[in-house]
Structure 1
Amino acid sequence: MKSAALQCNVLSDLVLFSCVGLRHVLVHGSGPEINAWLLRTSHESKFHNGLRVTDAHTMEVVEMVLDGKINKSLVDEINIFGGTSVELCGKDSRLLTARPSSESAVLGFVGEVARVDPSVLHSILADGHIPVIASVAADEAGQGYNVNTDTTVGKLAVTVGAEKLILLKDVAGILEDQNDPRRRAR
């Protein structure tokens, strides 16, 4: 949602859907914003197989941007549009438990979602609030991990039994054939 107008339209629609009784969860990342903040700290963004290589400094920036800046901004906008929303990240109430990526030697603090505990979401959704979740998680020992937003959304949707999954992206998302980006999953 690089366009402010598009972001306003999407968030106002989410509030409208909430007003008519649809319950939904907003999960976000923000690669471009992370890139910009890393540049501000003279830290180069590096990628491996489409995933951000995440050293300790990058992890600190990822958490600051996703859980602090972006999450708070989305919650504020939803509230301005008349909705009520709750800021969360995967670490909160152990919503998401991560494990190191199988490529952690190269990727650093990039994790995979090992477990989803949606119990915190049930009361938030039952009260008519919109949970806004930053794609950051921790392992059992509390180590933070940068987790891929797409796979996080998929695991969360399966765990809560979502009827629909909507991805808003500026890159190819879930594909029927990963070698053919024109063949998106339906």
Structure 2
Amino acid sequence: MRVRAVTDPANLISRAEILIEALPYMQRYAGQTFVVKYGGHAMGDPSVAASFAEDIVLLKAVGINPVVVHGGGPQIGSMLKKLGVKSEFVDGLRVTDEQTADVAEMVLSGAINKELVALIGQAGGKAVGISGKDGNMLRAAKLEHYVYDPERDEETLVDLGFVGEPVAVDRTLIDHLEIAGMIPVIAPIGVGPECETYNINADTMAGAIAGALGAARLFLLTDVAGVLDKQGQLLTDLVPADIQRLREDGTISGGMIPKLETCLRAVEDGVDAAVILDGRVPHAVLLEIFTKAGVGTLVRA
């Protein structure tokens, strides 16, 4: 004879209510694709990384097709420091010579990518780690970056080396992995016309992939709660006109601008909505998609 431990009925009811609240969202998004960018800073806490992996596995279990694109800037910086390679940045972008590009590919496609694959496997999922080179999935070109020169009063082109931007996405490999029940985990490395290796901003790559897949959601997990107003309150729902106004009055600045530009571009390319949210919060993706309130900033057309 087995004896079941006594559990507070109110606690059980509360758990059931959570599931009931999530049910319509599970039904709405079954069969849809979510692209989730997992940022380098959000990877720092092992417990949060484990909860992220559990989120991805749960999405797959309820019929949603998650595609993970990960960053790794801090980890690249750490490895370059160990190797005695000095890093140079322009407007937050790492100048990437051939040696730095090799290190970036080693860290992104190797250590970080396979660690995420292992975490998803530990949580009960089946993931495959790839980069934009695999299956010629993401073709890239050299990023042209301009900075303002006050002496000349003009924009000057700066050579960032092997920093790239997406030119075209071939979704064939991702489609095959989804059909096989696998979760793609993608390192932000692209291939150029002469087989050059290009390091690509993970937000930009995730947005390009989301657009190519016609994803229902693009999630950009970062180390802030989302877009905040001047009083520090979270702005939960934005459209392009809101973003333009917030840029003009200085509410949005710095690194949030390129993130929002990525969101807008993804929405223009057919993604239903994009969300910026704090990847350091355990189960942030589930809280955003399966609750009425959400926890991030949603950008829609």
What TM-score comes out, normalization by structure 1 length? 0.92
Which among 188, 203, 206 is matched to residue 153 of structure 1?
206
1:68 aligns with 2:110: yes
Q: 1:40 to 1:13 in 2, by over 3 A?
A: same
The residue identity in structure 1 corresponding to 2:45 is S
C-alpha contact (below 8 Å) 1:97/1:137 kept by paired residues = yes
Report the Cα distance in structure 2 between the residues aligned to 1:45 and 1:138, rounded to whole angstroms: 22
Report how far residue 170 of structure 1 moved: 2.2
- The aligned residue for residue 53 of structure 2 is 11
Report the Cα distance in structure 1 between the residues aligned to 2:88 and 2:203, rounded to whole angstroms: 19
1:123 aligns with 2:165: no
- More off after superposition, 41-50 vs 83-92: 41-50
Which among 126, 135, 143 is matched to residue 93 of structure 1?
135
Report the Cα distance in structure 1 between the residues aligned to 2:298 and 2:93, rounded to whole angstroms: 21
Matched residues, number: 186
Which among 130, 137, 144 is matched to residue 102 of structure 1?
144
Give the RMSD, CA atoms, in angstroms: 2.1
For residues 97-153 of structure 1, the C-alpha deviation after alignment (integer angstroms, 9 at most, x for no partner) is 000111385200001101100111101011221000000111122100001111111
Which among 149, 170, 183 is matched to residue 223 of structure 2?
170
For residues 73-93 of structure 1, the C-alpha deviation after alignment (integer angstroms, 9 at most, x for no partner) is 100111111100111100111
1:112 aligns with 2:203: no
- The aligned residue for residue 122 of structure 2 is 80
Report the Cα distance in structure 2 between the residues aligned to 1:160 and 1:172, rounded to whole angstroms: 26
The residue identity in structure 2 corresponding to 1:91 is K
Structure with greater proportional strand content: 2
Percent identity reads 40
Report the Cα distance in structure 2 between the residues aligned to 1:164 and 1:6, rounded to whole angstroms: 21
The residue identity in structure 1 corresponding to 2:110 is G
* Correspondence list, 1:29-48, <5 A: 29-48=71-90
C-alpha contact (below 8 Å) 1:150/1:173 kept by paired residues = no
Report the Cα distance in structure 1 between the residues aligned to 2:85 and 2:193, rounded to whole angstroms: 29
Report the Cα distance in structure 1 between the residues aligned to 2:226 and 2:199, rounded to whole angstroms: 18
The residue identity in structure 1 corresponding to 2:115 is S
* CA radius of gyration, larger in: 2
The residue identity in structure 2 corresponding to 1:160 is L
Report the Cα distance in structure 2 between the residues aligned to 1:48 and 1:81, rounded to whole angstroms: 39
The residue identity in structure 1 corresponding to 2:179 is A
Which among 183, 188, 202 is matched to residue 135 of structure 1?
188
